[in-house]
Amino acid sequence: MIRAAVLTAVGSPLEITGIELPEPGPGRVKVRLAAAGVCHSDLSLSNGTMKVPVPAVLGHEGAGTVVAVGEGVAHVAVGDHVVLNWAPSCGACHHCSIGEVWLCADALKGSAAVHAVAEDGTTLHPGLNVGAFAQETVVPANCVLPAPDGVPLTEAALLGCAVLTGWGAIHHSARVRHGESVVVFGVGGVGLATLQAARIAGAGPIVAVDVSPEKEELARAAGATDYLVASDTTAREVRKLTGSQGADVAVECVGRAVTIRTAWDSTRRGGRTTVVGIGGKDQQVTFHALEIFHWGRTLSGCVYGNSNPAEDLPVLAEHIRAGRFDLSTLVTERITLDGIPGAFANMVAGKGGRALVVF
């Protein structure tokens, strides 16, 4: 019996309770978690913004040590350090066949499977495939990737979502070029990773926008050259900081209609607006036909940073080992499983960067 954070019903608080995991069968791996990041997507799953079969063990951003492997698993062995991959590609669907592995049609198929059994006998699902809010988890083999050498295992958990998403938003979705101006909306875990990725890309100026003035120090440490507290005049202020043109690239990491619209308005004519934040169906964004023609901007969504984890993790690892990317600056709080509800409350209030559950 191990401890885990379980969502018993949409809208209910997480329950920290005991669960029983099976031993890994063919093609499966058991991992003892070292750490798991508390992502806004976990909050979105708990409140129903994103759908997940319940009851479920939440948590999708994690890293740990392999403690058992099932038959047929060859790429990892007992004792290996691994990063959990919550969106594994099947390699066979249309999107995988054309290289868009981040849009794999079967990526979340595993979320509907039976994952574990609660103390009362209730069967549980793995939230976003991996159920990382637990001392241990059992996952399909394609949900684990070897952790990069030279990266602390606790901080390596962040590679499983926040860092890949922020890195990919800059390098894959927006394809930021050296010297381009970038504005990032939302200075949470993903926003901080996006700022670091923009700095590594040689962007400038790099403007960070958030509702909280307290996040300025975090943003500047990550690479922001300028900081704005969100207001009705944000788009105008961004234009002032970018030669009256607007930013070449705007990245929205919040998932709200007002910030998506402001990101669009902050983008120069012919620039790119990338939406990373996950919003609900009630968040309606409107544009009129003439402005779409006149501004010539590109508006695009961004799933998991449009990343291929197997290819991007080695690149990120090199930046981390060289000191160009600092994982520790993303973490503003280290907690236990019992601290997850408080981390959710902080996200709702717009406080802090990434909370990290350390086991």
Domain ranges of the chain: 2-147+326-358, 165-303
User: What confidence score (pLDDT) does residue 52 get?
Assistant: 85
Residues 298-327: b if buried by 16+ CB within 10 A, e if exposed: ebeebbbbbbbbeebbeebbebbeeeebeb
Compute how many other C-beta atoms are within 10 angstroms of the C-beta atom of residue 150.
Answer: 10
Average pLDDT over every residue of 95-114: 92
User: What confidence score (pLDDT) does residue 83 get?
Assistant: 97
Average pLDDT over every residue of 223-249: 97
Give the pLDDT band (50/70/90) at residue 172: very high
SS3 339: helix
- Report the percent of the chain where pLDDT is more than 70: 100
Helix count and strand count (H, E) for the chain: 11, 18
CA-closest candidate to residue 26, choices 71, 68, 69, 66: 71
Give the pLDDT band (50/70/90) at residue 309: very high
**How would you class 351 by CB atoms within 10 Å of its CB: exposed for 0-12, middle for 13-18, buried for 19 or more?**
middle
β-strands 61-69, 81-84 pairing: antiparallel
- Report the percent of the chain where pLDDT is more than 90: 88
Domain 165-303, CATH among 3.30.230.70, 3.40.640.10, 3.30.450.20, 3.40.50.720? 3.40.50.720
What does the radius of gyration of the chain's CA atoms come to, in whole angstroms?
20
Spell out the CATH class of 2-147+326-358.
Answer: alpha beta
**What does the CA dihedral 211, 213, 218, 223 come to, rounded to 10 degrees?**
80
The DSSP-derived string for 87-122 is S---SSSHHHHTT-GGG-TTTTGGGGS--EEETTS-
Average pLDDT over every residue of 159-167: 95
CA-closest candidate to residue 239, choices 205, 215, 275: 205
User: What confidence score (pLDDT) does residue 280 get?
Assistant: 87
Largest CA distance in the chain: 63
Three-point CA angle 166, 217, 41, nearest 5°: 35
Give the pLDDT band (50/70/90) at residue 349: confident
User: What confidence score (pLDDT) does residue 340 get?
Assistant: 94
Contact indicator for 138, 21 with CB cutoff of 8 Å: yes
Backbone phi, psi, residue 201, to 5°: -75, -10
Q: Measure the CA–CA gap between 201 and 169, rounded to whole angstroms.
A: 12
Residues 257-295: b if buried by 16+ CB within 10 A, e if exposed: eebbbbbbbbbbeebbbbbbbbbeeebeeeeeeeeeeeb
Return the structure tokens found at 214. 């307290």
Give the pLDDT band (50/70/90) at residue 124: very high
Quote the pTM value: 0.94
Q: Measure the CA–CA gap between 98 and 265, rounded to whole angstroms.
A: 33
Q: Measure the CA–CA gap between 72 and 70, rounded to whole angstroms.
A: 6
Residue 270 region by backbone torsions, left for phi larger than 0, else alpha for psi between -120 and 50, else beta: left
Give the pLDDT band (50/70/90) at residue 348: confident
> How far does Cα 108 stand from its chain's mean position?
15
Compute how many other C-beta atoms are within 10 angstroms of the C-beta atom of residue 95.
Answer: 16
Q: Measure the CA–CA gap between 312 and 139, rounded to whole angstroms.
A: 21
